[in-house]
C-alpha cells in the first residue's frame, strides 16, 4: 500500500476516527509548537535591548495584527484550497485536484507580490495611526517593512500547505515549516544582539536589535523557499502542479476566490479588530500591552493542539464529503469536538498553576508580570471554549461554507468583544480587567452561536464529484 493509499484509507475508511485525527494532527501540533517557540524566542532576546526592554517587546507585539491583516488573504486561499482540493481527492479525481492546485499557486504568488509593495509603503503610516510613537514607532515600522518582503514566500507556503493537507499529507509541510523555524531561532540572537551568552558560550552578534528579528524570519523563508518550490513542481509522490499543462483558468480561479473571499475577509476583519483592540490596550500603558503580548504568546502555545485538530478536520471532512460519506463527515465533527475540548481542559489546568513563572521568563518589570498573571487567568479558563470555536471553524471550512466562518469570526470580535471592551472601559472602573473579561464572555457566548450555525449546515459537495 502506497503512502497515498494509506492516507486515503485512514481518512475515508478506518473505523477509529480518533486515531486518524491524532495521526494527522500530531505533525501540525509539532509545527505550531515550534512556531510559537520561535515567537517567544523573539520576545526573549529583544527584551535584552538595553534601555528599551518593554518598548522592544511592544515593537514586535504591535505589528502582529497588522501583519495578520496582510496575510489573511493567503490564509483564506489556503482554506479554500484545502476545502475544494480535498473533495476532489476524496472522489479520486486527481487531475481536477491538480488543476485547482496549480491555480491556487498562481493566485497566491500574484497576491503575495502585490501585498509586499502595499505593506512596505504603508507600514509607517499604519503604525503611527495605531498610536505608537518614539522608539516603538520607529522599530515597529522598520520591523514590518522588512517582514513585508516575505509575503510572497509566505503565500506560496500557504498554498503548498493547503495542497498537501488536502491530499492527507500533514508531514511534508511540517518538515519544511520546522526547518524554517529552526533556522529562524538560530539566527534570531545572532542578528538581534551585540553580545551573546548562551549555555556558557559567549560570542559577538550583529546587533541589529528589533530589526534583527525580522531579518532572521526573512532569511529563513528565503532558505526554505526553493525546497518548497521543488516539492510543488517535481515531487514524485502526492499532488504536484504544472503551469504548462494546466495554466491559469478563470473558471477555477473564480471558484477558489468565491470560497476564499469570505474566509479571507473574516480573517482580515478579525485582524483589523485586533488592531483596534491593541490600540485600546496601548491606552492603558506599556505594562498592560506587554501583559497582553506575552499572555497571548503563551496561550497560543497551549492552543496548538486544537488548532492542529481544527486544520485536520477541514481536510478530513472535505475528503469524506467528496467520497459522498456524509455520516462519516458528521461523526468526524463529533469526535473532533470531544478530543479538542478534552485536551484543552487538561492543558488549561496544568498551565493555570505555571502562569507566574512563565511570565517571569519574558518580563522583568513587576507591574507587567502582575498584569500578565492576572490576564492569563482569564485566558486559561476560557481555552476549552476556544477548542469549541476552532472545531466549528474547521468544520465550516471543510464543508466549504466559509461564509459561516466569516459570520462566527465577525460576531465574536465585532458584535461581542469590542463593544464589551468599550462598555467596560467607559462605563465601569474595571481598568484593564475589563479587556480580559470581555474576551472571556465573547468566547462563552460564541460557543452557543457556533452550535446554532452548525445545526443549519449541509454536508453537500462544493465541487462536481462522481459516485464511488
Are 446 and 411 contacting, i.e. CB atoms less than 8 angstroms apart? yes
Provide the pLDDT for residue 50: 44
Alpha helices in 399-454 (DSSP H): 402-410, 418-427, 433-454
pLDDT on residue 233? 92
What is the Cα–Cα distance from 324 to 457, expressed in whole angstroms?
A: 16
Q: Tell me what pLDDT residue 198 has.
A: 65
pLDDT at 275: 75
Domain positions in the chain? 3-454
Q: From the CB of residue 341, how many other CB atoms can be counted at a distance below 10 Å?
A: 18
pLDDT at 433: 85
Spatial distance between the Cα atoms of 7 and 358, rounded to a whole number of angstroms: 38
Question: pLDDT tens digit string along 290-346?
Answer: 788 777 777 777 888 888 898 889 888 988 998 889 899 999 999 999 999 999 999
| pLDDT confidence of residue 454 | 92
Q: Which residue matches cell numbers 509548537?
A: 33
Mean residue pLDDT of the chain comes to 84
User: How many Å from the N-terminal Cα to the C-terminal Cα in the chain?
Assistant: 20
Q: Which residues of the chain have pLDDT under 70?
A: 1-2, 35-57, 196-201, 203-205, 464-468
How far from chain centre, in Å, is Cα 441? 22
pLDDT of residue 248: 85
Output the pLDDT for position 51: 47
Bin 431: left if φ > 0, else alpha if -120 < ψ < 50, else beta. left
Amino acid at each position: 500500500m502506497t503512502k497515498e493509499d494509506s492516507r486515503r484509507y485512514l481518512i475515508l475508511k478506518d473505523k477509529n476516527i480518533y486515531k486518524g485525527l491524532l495521526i494527522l494532527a500530531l505533525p501540525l501540533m509539532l509545527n505550531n509548537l515550534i512556531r510559537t517557540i520561535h515567537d517567544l524566542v523573539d520576545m526573549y532576546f529583544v527584551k535584552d535591548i538595553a534601555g528599551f526592554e518593554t518598548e522592544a517587546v511592544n515593537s514586535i507585539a504591535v505589528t502582529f495584527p497588522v501583519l495578520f491583516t496582510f496575510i489573511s488573504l493567503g490564509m483564506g486561499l489556503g482554506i479554500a484550497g484545502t476545502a475544494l482540493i480535498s473533495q476532489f481527492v476524496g472522489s479520486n479525481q486527481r487531475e481536477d485536484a491538480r488543476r485547482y492546485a496549480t491555480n491556487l499557486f498562481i493566485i497566491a504568488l500574484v497576491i503575495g507580490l502585490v501585498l509586499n509593495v502595499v505593506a512596505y509603503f504603508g507600514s509607517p503610516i499604519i503604525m503611527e495611526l495605531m498610536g505608537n510613537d518614539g522608539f516603538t514607532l520607529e522599530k515597529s515600522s522598520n520591523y514590518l517593512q522588512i517582514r513585508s518582503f516575505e509575503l510572497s514566500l509566505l503565500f506560496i507556503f500557504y498554498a503548498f500547505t493547503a495542497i498537501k493537507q488536502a491530499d492527507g499529507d500533514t508531514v511534508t509541510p511540517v518538515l519544511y515549516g520546522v526547518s524554517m523555524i529552526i533556522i529562524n531561532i538560530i539566527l534570531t540572537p545572532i542578528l538581534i544582539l551585540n553580545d551573546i551568552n548562551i549555555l556558557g558560550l559567549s560570542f559577538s552578534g550583529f546587533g541589529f536589535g528589533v530589526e534583527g528579528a525580522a531579518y532572521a524570519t526573512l532569511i529563513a523563508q528565503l532558505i526554505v523557499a526553493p525546497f518548497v518550490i521543488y516539492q510543488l513542481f517535481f515531487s514524485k509522490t502526492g499532488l504536484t502542479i504544472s503551469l504548462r499543462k494546466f495554466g491559469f483558468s478563470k473558471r477555477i480561479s473564480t471558484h477558489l476566490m468565491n470560497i476564499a473571499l469570505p474566509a479571507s475577509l473574516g480573517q482580515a476583519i478579525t485582524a483589523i479588530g485586533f488592531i483596534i483592540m491593541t490600540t485600546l490596550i496601548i491606552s492603558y500603558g506599556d505594562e498592560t500591552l506587554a501583559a497582553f503580548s506575552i499572555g497571548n504568546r503563551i496561550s497560543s502555545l497551549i492552543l496548538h493542539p486544537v488548532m492542529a485538530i481544527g486544520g485536520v478536520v477541514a481536510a478530513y471532512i472535505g475528503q469524506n464529503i467528496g467520497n459522498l460519506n456524509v455520516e462519516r463527515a458528521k461523526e468526524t465533527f463529533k469526535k473532533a469536538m470531544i478530543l479538542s475540548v478534552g485536551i484543552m481542559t487538561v492543558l488549561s489546568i496544568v498551565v493555570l498553576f505555571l502562569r507566574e513563572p512563565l511570565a517571569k521568563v519574558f518580563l522583568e518589570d513587576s507591574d507587567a508580570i502582575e498584569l500578565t498573571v492576572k490576564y492569563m487567568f482569564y485566558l486559561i479558563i476560557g481555552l476549552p471554549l476556544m477548542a469549541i470555536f476552532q472545531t466549528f471553524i474547521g468544520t465550516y471550512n471543510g464543508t466549504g461554507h466559509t461564509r459561516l466562518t466569516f459570520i462566527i469570526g465577525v460576531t465574536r470580535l465585532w458584535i461581542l468583544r469590542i463593544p464589551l471592551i468599550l462598555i467596560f472601559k467607559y462605563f465601569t472602573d474595571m481598568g484593564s480587567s475589563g479587556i480580559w473579561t470581555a474576551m472571556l464572555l465573547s468566547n462563552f457566548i460564541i460557543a452557543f452561536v457556533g452550535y446554532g450555525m452548525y445545526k443549519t449546515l449541509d454536508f453537500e459537495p462544493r465541487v462536481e464529484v462522481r459516485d464511488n
